[in-house]
Structure 1
Amino acid sequence: MFYLLNIFIQMKVLLNNTSLFESLRPFNDRGFVPTMGGIHNGHLSLINKSNKLCEKTIVSIFVNPKQFNNKKDLKSYPRNIKKDLKILKKSKKVDFVYLPKFKEIYKDKKKSKITLHKKDKILCANFRKGHFEGVLDVMNRLTKIINPQKIFMGEKDFQQLYLVKKQLEKKYKTKVIACKTIRNKNKVALSSRNFLLNKSNLVMAAKIYAKLESIKKNIKNKKNIPNFLNFQKKELKNTYKIKIDYLELRNIKNLKISSTKKNSRLFIAYYLNNVRLIDNL
């Protein structure tokens, strides 16, 4: 780590809360981009937005074990700190990178009292028990530590964005800024989990996205949208031999099941090569 600190002179790497507090103290206008590493162009778009709107930008890299409901998923999650730091340094848009150890985040050992309302136990919350409780807990802790004026999060995980925004903006003087999903040339949403896919997987993901675009386009002509989506879900399963957790149209303001295309998004979670992918459009 000493090697890393010497390479990255302008972009300050913060390894503990003491150095973080000292470094951030002079700056009130802080933009925060929380990540679990696997830095890609989607993360860089969040950083660019923060750089435009805030005096200083801080990026965290912390793989939070409490938001993984599957130990194998946690173990296989892509990690390459050295590569991530090189990408962030090259962007020339990041002032601070926070690389906390577990004990720095969870110094307060009080058990989290965060629980989801029944109406929020939908989509990924229905299939990943305890996941969003872990997300909300760590985001609460990170926000308390960093005290940012703005937090930048992508729309790819729309449910996460929705829940974090709803909780943090009530509790802290911070604004959660939604940033559009960044896609590759084949319109596959960028994700750290994509590093676990091979080329043929990514080709299939592009075909699935094209099919989803067609489904979304045809929804407006359907009287019974849930039945239509159930049929399309079966078609996707049979055609691409994939497991699908959900394929649902929901209102973007409250995430309730929607019966109209207006103010709605099509949400999907599926497995490709045992890698769980999510998207919405």
Structure 2
Amino acid sequence: MKVFRKIVDLQNELFEARKKKQSIGLVPTMGALHEGHASLVRRSVKENDITVVSVFLNPTQFNNPNDLATYPRTLEKDCDLLEKNGADYVFAPTAEEMYPTPDKRQFEFPPVSTVMEGKHRPGHFNGVCQVVSRLFYITRPQRAYFGEKDWQQIAVVKAMVKRLKLNIDIVECPIIRESDGLALSSRNTLLAPEERAIAPNIFKYLNESIEFAKTHSLKDTHNQVVSQINATDGLEVEYFSIVDGNTLQDIEKWEDSNYIVGCITVYCGKKPVRLIDHIKYKEY
């Protein structure tokens, strides 16, 4: 496995791969890798000749400076994980390498980019699109792999790919969870032991709400989940939105859509750590 810091060096390597008609898979990450990322890498290795993993903590998608400052950075450990899972190339640039001049491009894809995370983290998805589009132009992959934990992000990236007319398949990969149900996240490493102990309640109550929803209204289900999580000392819901899975718009009744997803963001602990998750109530 090779590690590249410079765009030109990676592009030269990938030019040789394309000359050999080798397919390229890209796994974009911000580092602090875990088994969820490893599952994306293994999927890419299985489906492509070459797998590139970017490890770049993108400053333009953080609207909270403290969130950026506290985000875990573990490049050496990340490279060990990537090599064990078959990655061919790691691209770990500096911010100056990725943004030699300020990226002033504006990306907006309403309604999918303006609700939930888009509403609560202004500028976040613009930063996501800035960095992901740059990674796409740099690596020119046939496929790019994203975890479903960041479910709204996938919808935004798909909208961007369509708008920019990029010939790239966006491959959605299932959430990987701990044995107690907590969705794997780089931010989990920021949880103190007592916070880690209560965090699985997020998925516990989401999961239980599937059965609850069979005999209760959408509004009652929403309120049940929020009240149960908020009743857990150390957890506080920022938002819980039950939406149409295609438009990401709030719905009022279960009959309003055949594809319904509940998306939640919860603050955990005293600092606190911001955790996201979702549950699918109805699928086609």
For normalisation by structure 2, the TM-score amounts to 0.89
* Equivalent position SS for 1:27: helix
In structure 2, how many angstroms separate the alpha carbons of the residues matched to 1:119 and 1:25? 35
RMSD, aligned α-carbons = 1.7
The amino acid of 1:271's aligned partner reads Y
Aligned length: 269
Q: Deviations over 1:7-65 (max 9, x none)?
A: xxxx0101101111111112231100000001100000000110111110000000011
Map residues 128-143 of structure 1 onto 2, 5 A cutoff. 128-143=121-136
- Provide the residue aligned with 2:28 in structure 1: 34
- How far apart are the structure 1 equivalents of 2:206 and 2:170? 28
Which residue number in structure 2 is paired with residue 151 of structure 1? 144
Matches of 1:161 and 1:118, distance apart in 2: 14
Q: Deviations over 1:208-250 (max 9, x none)?
A: 3111111122113223x13441343133212334221111222
CA distance in 1, matches of 2:258, 2:212: 13
Structure 2: any 5+ residue segments left out of the alignment?
Answer: 280-284
Match for 1:176: what amino acid?
Answer: I
Is the contact between residue 198 and residue 234 of structure 2 (CA under 8 Å) also seen in structure 1? no
CA distance in 1: counterparts of 2:208 and 2:184, whole angstroms: 20
**Contact 1:169/1:175, CA 8 A, preserved across alignment:** no
Please, which of 195, 213, 238 is the counterpart of residue 201 of structure 1? Answer: 195
Task: Provide the C-alpha distance between the structure 1 equivalents of 2:258 and 2:206, rounded to a whole number of angstroms.
Answer: 17
Runs of 4 or more above 3 Å deviation? 107-110
1:45-60 matches, within 5 Å, as 45-60=39-54
Give the match for residue 277 of structure 2.
279
Deviates more, 1:206-215 or 1:265-274: 206-215
Alignment of 1:16-165 (within 5 A): 16-28=6-18, 29-91=23-85, 93-107=86-100, 109-117=102-110, 120-165=113-158
Q: What is the correspondence of 1:175-194 to structure 2 with a 5 Å cutoff?
A: 175-194=169-188
Q: TM-score, normalised by structure 1?
A: 0.90
Residue of structure 2 equivalent to 1:244: 237
Q: In the aligned structure 1, how far is the partner of 2:61 from the partner of 2:181?
A: 27
What is the identity, as a one-letter code, of the residue corresponding to 1:102?
A
For 2:239, what is the secondary structure of its paired residue?
strand
Q: Which one-letter code corresponds to 2:222 in the other structure?
A: L
Which piece of structure 1 moves more, 103-112 or 251-260? 103-112
Is residue 266 of structure 1 aligned with residue 262 of structure 2? yes
Q: CA deviation at 1:141?
A: 1.1
Q: Distance in 1 between matches of 2:162 and 2:40?
A: 18
Distance 1:141 1:134 in 2: 11
Would you say 1:235 and 2:233 are equivalent positions?
no
Distance 2:223 2:123 in 1: 26
Pair 149,18 (structure 1): closer, same or farther in 2 beyond 3 Å: same
Distance 1:101 1:216 in 2: 44
Cα distance in 2 for residues equivalent to 1:50 and 1:99:
18
SS in 1 for 2:232: helix
**Deviates most, 228-237 or 93-102:** 228-237
Range that drifts further, 151-160 or 22-31: 22-31
Aligned-residue identity in percent? 33
Q: Which residue of 2 aligns with 1:4?
A: none
- SS of equivalent residue, structure 2 residue 104: coil
User: Paired residue for 1:12?
Assistant: 2
**Comparing 124-133 and 108-117, the one that deviates more:** 108-117
CA–CA distance in 2 between the matches of 1:196 and 1:163?
A: 27
